[in-house]
A and B are shown apart, each in its own frame.
Chain A
Amino acid sequence: MSRDPRDYAGEVYLYGVVPAETAAPADLQGIQSQPVEVLEHESVAVLVSEVDPDQILGTPDDLLAHTQLLDAVARQTPVLPLAFGTVVPEAAAVVEDILSPSQQEYAAGLENVDGHAQYTVSVTFDRDTVLREIITELPEAAHLREQIAGTTEDQTRPQRIQLGELMVRGLEQRQPAAAAPVIDRLQEVTSDLTEHERRQPDDVIELAALVAHQQAEEFEEVVEDLAREFHPRCKFRLVGPQAPYDFVPKV
């Protein structure tokens, strides 16, 4: 049931855009333990809750509440998550400035994710396995390692930096070949695939995958097959199903 924007006194927190006539989940609380409500405008709506000005907003609990709500909603209905921490000063602005001007884009975005969930696949090199691999191939690195053995960081800092650089470069060189089969095989069982930025030298790849519900089982099996095939050199981690955080339109 949609509330009238005029009922809201102050700031409003936004979770995600949903099709009109979506019901807010009654069993889940939002940020600051507030109830979650729906503001509608024609064919689209947004899940919101009132912000309590006397409480801190932006705590880890708020982030968990934000994602738990969106993930739960995504199981029932298409949803376009808003970035965590989106707050508008008054409810009237939700319809006037957000829903009304981009209604078409939201409707198209909702259609795009309808019947899908997001999974995130993170692949990292098994550090020991691959460092061992690099050291056996690089006499220079093996030599530096011998110089470092039994010394303190102060004694051999330049050699350590040099060794680390060689190892990091070795990991970087191995990354494209390790990532390629993962991308290739996941493309076959996903509707869309987005690559996240790598954070560490031993990261192989992190992919957000948009997966149709009826393909979920096949997708999970492919991930499992990949993990088995590249064990123990690579480690696989799979998070999901979640709301499609990576598959929202630009507005």
Chain B
Amino acid sequence: MSTAMQRSRGSYVDRPSPSSLADVVEIILDKGLVIDAYIRVSLVGIEVLTIDARIVIASVDTYLRFAEATNRLDLAAQGGRDLPDLMSGMAEGGSEGKTKGAVEGVKEALTPGDDDDDDGDEDEAPKRRRRQSSKSE
């Protein structure tokens, strides 16, 4: 198969192996042709995994989970001098252009030098080969 080129380094896309059990359960377990008249053997032995994949969005448990995540986030921000610059930059950014700010921040962190303030050029040079060559700051 010639399609999957591994772009591990420098890629922003997580590309797991297609055969991991969690992916298979999530992506294909209920898919495919269904021939109604016939017995469908169901998956045994990984109940936890399948239940986990079907959590209802609007539930008290979900709310508590996100409240806790928000709570933790707050604590991290207070004592979090070790957070990357881009994170604090984002938090301080206020409501205007947060997204842009975050992207720029990361670009700065990941891309030394030349193309950090020009989106147009960045788009025309998608391979970003420059990064490899000049790893110095």
The interface size of chain A toward B, counting residues with CB under 8 Å, comes to: 88
Inter-chain contact B70/A135, CB cutoff 8 Å = yes
For B99, the chain A residues whose CB sits under 8 A away are 230, 233
Q: How far is the CB of B19 from chain A (nearest CB, A)?
A: 6
Select B67's contact among A120, A160, A227, beta carbons within 8 Å.
Answer: A160
Inter-chain contact B43/A63, CB cutoff 8 Å = yes
Q: Please, which residue of chain B has its CB at the minimum distance from the CB of A164?
A: B63
Inter-chain contact B13/A237, CB cutoff 8 Å = yes
For A98, the chain B residues whose CB sits under 8 A away are 35
Interface hub of B11, B24, B64 (most chain A Cβ within 10 A): B24
State A249–B34 Cα separation when bound (angstroms). 10
State A240–B1 Cα separation when bound (angstroms). 11
Inter-chain contact A127/B69, CB cutoff 8 Å = yes
Size class of the contact patch on chain B: 35 or more
Q: How far is the CB of A178 from chain B (nearest CB, A)?
A: 9
CB interface residues, B 41-58, toward A, < 8 Å: 41-46, 53-55, 57-58
**A78 touches B (CB below 8 Å):** no
For A145, the chain B residues whose CB sits under 8 A away are 70-71, 74
**B81 touches A (CB below 8 Å):** no
Inter-chain contact B43/A58, CB cutoff 8 Å = yes
Select B28's contact among A17, A84, A161, beta carbons within 8 Å.
Answer: A84
Q: Check A87/B39 contact, CB under 8 A, given A145-B71, A161-B63.
A: yes
Inter-chain contact A200/B57, CB cutoff 8 Å = yes
State A132–B70 Cα separation when bound (angstroms). 8
Inter-chain contact B39/A168, CB cutoff 8 Å = no
Q: Please, which residue of chain A has its CB at the minimum distance from the CB of B74?
A: A145
Inter-chain contact A229/B73, CB cutoff 8 Å = no
What 0/1 pattern do residues 200 to 214 of A give for CB contact below 8 A with B? 110000001000010
Inter-chain contact B102/A233, CB cutoff 8 Å = yes
Inter-chain contact B19/A68, CB cutoff 8 Å = yes
Q: Please, which residue of chain A has its CB at the minimum distance from the CB of B53?
A: A199
Q: How far is the CB of A227 from chain B (nearest CB, A)?
A: 4
For B77, the chain A residues whose CB sits under 8 A away are 132
Inter-chain contact B24/A133, CB cutoff 8 Å = no
State A107–B62 Cα separation when bound (angstroms). 45
Interface segment, one of A18-26, A35-43, A182-190, A216-224: A216-224
**B7 touches A (CB below 8 Å):** yes
Select B66's contact among A59, A167, A213, A225, beta carbons within 8 Å.
Answer: A167
Q: Which residues of A contact B (CB under 8 A)?
A: 14, 16-17, 56-60, 62-64, 67-68, 71, 75, 80-89, 97-98, 117, 120, 127-129, 131-133, 135-137, 141, 145, 148-149, 153, 157, 159-165, 167-168, 171-172, 198-201, 208, 213, 216-217, 220-221, 223-225, 227-233, 235-242, 245-246, 248-249, 251
7 smallest CB-CB distances across A and B, nearest first, come from: A164-B63, A227-B12, A85-B41, A245-B31, A164-B67, A160-B67, A81-B32
